[in-house]
């Protein structure tokens, strides 16, 4: 049985300066150049529409740049791709494989994701374990694993920076960075999406916002993901006991722009998860083969499991952040302040309900012998109960003879002890007489004679 109770709080304050590169001015046509005539215009070939890929803007160097101009290996996921990924009600682990060299897995279900870039990561499930891949959410580095699983919704882009990174984002990392940029107020479209799937899986997501005035803009977004329990626990009565969840998150943003140079952004976020912990299947592979074995020793069924312990998972995370930007012309000053708090309670049966594998009747392959052992133990228990009842009846019917017999035995033992005591006294008296006689005879021998 494994139980984790943890609470984490984090406060991040950062200030950075970014220098802007001046744009080159375009040359105006000479004043004495002749104007183009309609005949000349007709002879000029019409340029074809560019049907290739458009520019991919990234902020891998804390400034908006074309991906082709950034000397860093960067992979991106745009808003349309993220919409398709979230349609199935998946969590942040669904991003694995969407970007080359990125893998995400977890031993705790929808909490505690572990990120890997180019195979570099940390498989330790300790809550305080350091991860070589950093997650940057709204310019803030999230190091605790229970904070890294915040749902990905209403995002402008997701960037994956492969390779060692410096302290540009607040922490150097040996493997890389996964960067989440939310849609700012005044940008993006208002939308509402909902999808429904197997096991009553629901994914509902929406966002709305706009300019409240010339200086104030706001945006509110949220997501709700639900799935019914669909896995049967054979050790509990009933059906559909595990693997369900209710996970929702909200985000509110307000941006103030008192002047053309100054921007102030305030953000508040909240997440609540209530579901099942990760299921463990013990001895599910037949020894010496790659064949899966079911919990009853027969065909493997993914909707059946055996667990004899508690299983639950609860997670709450909150975030309050503020960002200040001031444009000096040649440089822009950024100030980022963020506070994160999270609490998780997770408990699951890690032995799959079969106990120690060294004990008899452990594992799916021994389920028949386990049932036989249980049947035999029940039969022996019933026989013991019947024999105990018979013995009790006999003892109740023979109460008086038993008491008289015990009295006689105690009396005979007492008389025997008295006889032995009398004999011992007689022997001691005889010995004392013999000693006296021997002493008197010795005295008579040693007495001096008269001259």
| Mean pLDDT taken over the chain | 74
Q: What is the pLDDT of residue 324?
A: 95
Give the lowest-confidence range in 182-186, 346-350, 388-392: 388-392
Q: What is the pLDDT of residue 31?
A: 45
Give the closest residue to 151 by CA, choosing from 241, 45, 52, 273.
273
Q: What is the pLDDT of residue 109?
A: 82
Q: Exposed e or buried b for every residue in 307-336, given b needs 16+ CB within 10 A?
A: bebebebbbbbebebebebeeeeeebebeb
Q: What is the pLDDT of residue 23?
A: 40
**φ, ψ for residue 434, nearest 5 deg:** -60, -40
Could you give the CA distance from residue 290 to residue 252 in angstroms, rounded to a whole number?
Answer: 50
Q: What is the pLDDT of residue 126?
A: 76
Question: What is the chain's length?
Answer: 451
For 192-228, give the DSSP string.
EEEEEEGGGEEEEEEEEEEESSSSEEEEEEEEEEEE-
Binned at pLDDT 50, 70 and 90, residue 356 comes out as: low
Query: Are residues 104 and 122 in contact, defined by beta-carbon separation less than 8 angstroms?
Result: no
Mean pLDDT is highest, among 67-71, 307-311, 333-337, 400-404, for 333-337
Could you give the CA distance from residue 231 to residue 226 in angstroms, rounded to a whole number?
Answer: 15
Binned at pLDDT 50, 70 and 90, residue 274 comes out as: very high
CA atoms 129, 132, 135, 139: torsion sign: positive
Q: Taking 70 as the threshold, does the pLDDT of residue 308 lie above it?
A: yes
Interstrand relation of 176-182 and 133-137 (parallel, antiparallel or unpaired)? parallel
Sheet containing 155-162: which strands, arranged edge to edge?
A: 74-77, 155-162, 176-182, 133-137, 140-142
Q: What is the pLDDT of residue 52?
A: 52
Give the lowest-confidence range in 75-79, 331-335, 383-387: 383-387
> In which residue are the tokens 């682990």 written?
93
Q: What is the pLDDT of residue 410?
A: 41
Stronger pLDDT, 284 or 230, i.e. the higher one: 230
Rounded mean pLDDT, 25-44: 43
Mean pLDDT is highest, among 61-65, 134-138, 219-223, 278-282, for 219-223
Place domain 2-19+60-355 in its CATH homologous superfamily.
TonB-dependent receptor, beta-barrel domain (2.40.170.20)
Geometric angle at alpha carbon 163, from 157 and 167, rounded to 5°: 80
Query: Are residues 341 and 320 in contact, defined by beta-carbon separation less than 8 angstroms?
Result: no
SS3 417: helix
Give the lowest-confidence range in 23-32, 169-178, 244-253, 360-369: 23-32
Rounded mean pLDDT, 26-33: 44
Could you give the CA distance from residue 309 to residue 411 in angstroms, rounded to a whole number?
Answer: 59
Rounded mean pLDDT, 197-206: 92
Residue pLDDT, tens place only, 428-442:
555 555 555 555 554
Q: Taking 70 as the threshold, does the pLDDT of residue 379 lie above it?
A: no
Q: What is the pLDDT of residue 319?
A: 96
- Name the strand (E) or helix (H) holding 378: helix 367-397
SS3 346: strand
Number of Cβ atoms within 10 Å of the Cβ of 193: 14
> In which residue are the tokens 């993914």 written?
302
Q: What is the pLDDT of residue 48?
A: 43
What are the residues whose beta carbons fall under 8 Å from the beta carbon of 284, sequence distance 6 or more? 292, 293, 300, 352, 364
């Amino acid at each position: 049985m494994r139980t984790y109770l943890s609470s984490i709080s984090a406060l991040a304050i950062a200030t950075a300066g970014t220098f802007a590169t001046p744009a080159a001015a375009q040359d105006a046509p000479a004043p004495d150049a002749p104007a183009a005539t309609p005949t000349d215009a007709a002879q000029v070939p019409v340029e074809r529409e560019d049907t290739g890929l458009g520019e991919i803007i990234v902020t891998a160097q804390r400034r908006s740049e074309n991906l082709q101009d950034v000397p860093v290996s960067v992979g991106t996921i745009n808003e349309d791709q993220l919409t398709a990924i979230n349609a199935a009600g998946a969590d942040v682990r669904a991003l694995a494989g969407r970007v080359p060299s990125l893998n995400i897995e977890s031993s705790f279900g929808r909490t505690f994701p572990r990120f890997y870039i180019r195979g570099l990561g940390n498989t330790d499930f300790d809550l305080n374990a350091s991860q070589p891949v950093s997650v940057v959410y709204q310019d803030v580095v999230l190091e605790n694993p229970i904070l890294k699983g915040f749902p990905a919704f209403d995002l402008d882009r997701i960037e994956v920076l492969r390779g060692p990174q410096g302290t540009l984002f607040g922490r150097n990392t040996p493997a890389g960075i996964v960067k989440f940029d939310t849609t700012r107020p005044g940008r993006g479209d208002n939308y509402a999406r909902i999808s429904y799937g197997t096991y009553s899986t629901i994914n509902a997501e929406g966002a709305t916002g706009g300019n409240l005035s010339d200086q104030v803009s706001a945006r509110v977004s949220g997501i709700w993901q639900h799935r019914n329990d669909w896995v049967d626990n054979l050790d509990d009565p009933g059906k559909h006991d595990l693997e369900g969840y209710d996970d929702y998150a909200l985000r509110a943003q307000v941006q103030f722009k008192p002047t053309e140079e100054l921007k102030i952004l305030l953000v508040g976020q909240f997440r609540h998860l209530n579901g099942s912990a990760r299921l463990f299947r013990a001895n599910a592979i037949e020894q010496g083969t790659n064949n899966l074995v079911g919990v009853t020793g027969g065909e493997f069924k993914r909707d059946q499991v055996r667990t004899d312990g508690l299983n639950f998972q609860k997670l709450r995370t909150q975030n309050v952040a503020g960002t200040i930007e001031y444009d000096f012309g040649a440089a822009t000053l950024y100030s980022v302040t963020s506070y994160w708090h999270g609490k998780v309670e997770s408990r699951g049966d890690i032995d799959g309900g079969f106990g120690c594998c060294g004990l008899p009747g452990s594992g799916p392959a021994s389920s028949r012998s386990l049932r036989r052992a249980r049947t035999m133990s029940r039969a022996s228990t019933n026989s013991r109960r019947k024999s105990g009842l018979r013995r009790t009846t006999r003892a109740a019917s023979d109460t008086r003879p038993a008491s008289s017999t015990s009295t006689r035995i105690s009396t005979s033992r007492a008389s025997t002890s008295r006889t032995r005591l009398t004999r011992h006294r007689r022997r001691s008296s005889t010995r004392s007489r013999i000693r006296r006689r021997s002493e008197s005879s010795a005295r008579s021998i040693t007495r001096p004679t008269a001259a």
